Amino acid sequence: MGSVAPTEQTMGGGCDYRALEDTEDREDEGQGNASFITQTDANGMPLSSAANSLLHETRRIDDAALLRSRERQLMNMRSRYHSGLCYRLTSLCLNICCCIAEEDTSTYYNPVTGELTLLPPQDPDTSGKKCLVLDLDETLVHSSFKPVPNPDYIIPVTIEGTTHRVYVVKRPGVDLFLERLGELYEIVVFTASLSKYADPLLDMLDVSHVIKARLFRDSCSCFQGNYVKDLALLGRELKDVIIVDNSPASYLFHPENAIGVSTFIDDTEDREQFYCASFLESIVDVDDVRKTLHTYPDFIAQQIKLKNSNTKTNNDAQDESNV
Among the candidates 95, 117, 139, a domain finishes at 117
Q: Are residues 95 and 220 in the same domain?
A: no
Q: Are 253 and 228 in contact (CB under 8 A)?
A: yes
Q: What is the mean pLDDT of the chain?
A: 77
Among the candidates 117, 132, 161, a domain finishes at 117
Q: Are residues 83 and 131 in the same domain?
A: no
245 in catalytic set: no
Of 286, 281, 190, nearest in space to 229 by CA: 190
Q: Are residues 171 and 290 in the same domain?
A: yes
- Span 95-113, pLDDT tens digits: 322 222 333 446 888 777 7
Q: Are residues 176 and 104 in the same domain?
A: no
| Strand spans (E) along the chain | 108-110, 115-117, 131-134, 141-144, 153-159, 162-170, 186-190, 211-215, 221-223, 226-228, 241-245, 258-260
The verdict on residue 321 lying in a domain is no
Q: Say which residue, 10 or 144, is predicted with more confidence.
A: 144
Q: Say which residue, 64 or 14, is predicted with more confidence.
A: 64
Q: Are residues 134 and 258 in the same domain?
A: yes
- Residue 102 lies in domain: 60-117
Among the candidates 117, 144, 161, a domain finishes at 117
- Looking at residue 283, what is its pLDDT? 98
Q: Are residues 235 and 173 in the same domain?
A: yes
Query: What secondary structure, in 3-state letters, does 228-246 show?
Result: ECCHHHCCCCHHHEEEEEC
162-190 mean pLDDT: 97
Catalytic residue chosen out of the listed positions 41, 63, 125, 137: 137
pTM over 0.85: no
Strands 186-190 and 211-215: parallel
137 in catalytic set: yes
Lowest mean pLDDT among 12-21, 47-56, 267-276: 12-21
The verdict on residue 28 lying in a domain is no
Catalytic residue chosen out of the listed positions 41, 135, 230, 245: 135
Q: Are residues 151 and 259 in the same domain?
A: yes
Q: Are residues 274 and 231 in the same domain?
A: yes
Measured CA to CA, the distance from residue 2 to residue 83 in angstroms comes to 35
Q: Are residues 82 and 191 in the same domain?
A: no
CB atoms within 10 A of CB 162: 13
Q: Are residues 113 and 142 in the same domain?
A: no
- Span 247-300, pLDDT tens digits: 999 999 999 999 999 999 999 999 999 999 999 999 999 999 999 999 999 999
Q: Are 185 and 276 in contact (CB under 8 A)?
A: no
Measured CA to CA, the distance from residue 292 to residue 13 in angstroms comes to 30
**Angular region, 297: left φ>0, alpha ψ -120 to 50, beta rest:** alpha
